[in-house]
Amino acid sequence: MKQLHRRVVVTGLGILSPIGNTVQEAWSSCTAGESGITNVEIDIPDCPVSVGGRLKNFYAQDFMDPKDVRRVDPFIQYGFIAANQSIEDSGILDLPNLNLERVGVNFGAGIGGIQMIEQNYKLLTTRGHKKVSPFFVPGSIINMISGLVSIKHGFMGPNTSVVTACSTGNHCIGTAARSIACGDADVMIAGGAEMASTPLSIAGFISSRA
């Protein structure tokens, strides 16, 4: 007997990208044919890379408590902010009978908090283990985006993070859709975030000729 699945639809969008920090900005850039790739400064001696795609006119303090900004890696900031944009865009928080136990989050990343890893390793090797931040581990792990979004809004449904390198965002959306279709949740916040333009990460991609 064929199993019946519930229909799944997208009701809200959010984005931070080199071509815009909102859905409207990014779409306008797309339709205008504007590129997000620019000249960038990279802290690597004799670096052969001089261009890249980075966020522009972005200040995390405009969207998050400054204390939280300092405690988490940029990729967590990006995912948290984009997720909240999608939640606001969807209007689900205005629903009178929203069951928070049926709202989940599936937000991932390909690498995770590589900037915090680099920074705290430098502290360890130059100033000792006591200088490593107590927020290093919770501020760099991939599932912290899902955790922070759920904590902020009180979501108590499925809370996961798919990690599949560059396809992470798509797989998070796909598995979140399955959670709804199969009845595990009524609403899922899903997507992916990354901030891997650090010296070590770029050096690694250079070495692999990527």
- % of the chain at pLDDT higher than 90: 94
Classify residue 42: in a domain, yes or no.
yes
For residue 33, the enclosing domain spans: 23-89+102-207
Query: What mean pLDDT, rounded, does the chain reach?
Result: 95
Q: Is residue 43 part of a domain?
A: yes
Segment 24-55, tens digit of pLDDT: 999 999 999 999 999 998 889 999 999 999 99
What confidence tens digit (pLDDT) does each residue in 123-145 have? 999 999 999 999 999 999 999 99
Predicted confidence at residue 135, as pLDDT, reads 96
Rg of the chain's alpha carbons, rounded to an integer?
19
**Mean pLDDT score, 160-187:** 97
Quote the pLDDT of residue 79. 98
Residue 39 lies in a domain: yes
Domain membership of residue 167 (yes or no) is yes
97 within some domain: no
Task: Identify whether 180 is part of a domain.
Answer: yes
Among 135, 144, 94, 103, which Cα is nearest to 117's? 135
pLDDT in tens, 148-162: 999 999 999 999 999
Which CATH number does the domain housing residue 166 bear? 3.40.47.10
**DSSP-based helix, strand, coil % in the chain, nearest 5:** 45, 10, 45
pTM to 2 decimal places = 0.94
Q: pLDDT digit string (tens) for 79-125?
A: 999 999 999 999 999 999 999 999 999 999 999 999 999 999 999 99
Question: Maximum CA pair distance of the chain?
Answer: 64
Task: Report how far residue 103's alpha carbon sits from residue 86's, in angstroms, rounded to the nearest whole number.
Answer: 14
Q: Give the C-alpha separation, 177 to 188, whole Å.
A: 7
Q: How many domains does the chain have?
A: 1
Pairing of strands 37-39, 51-53: antiparallel
Residue 45 lies in a domain: yes
- Do residues 117 and 139 make contact, with C-beta atoms less than 8 angstroms apart? no
**End-to-end C-alpha distance for the chain, whole angstroms:** 47
Residue 2 pLDDT > 70, yes or no?
Answer: no
- DSSP secondary structure letters along 67-90: HHHHHS-HHHHHHHHHHHHHHHHH
Alpha carbon distance 96, 81 (integer Å)? 24
CA-wise closest residue to 138 among 66, 73, 60, 64:
73
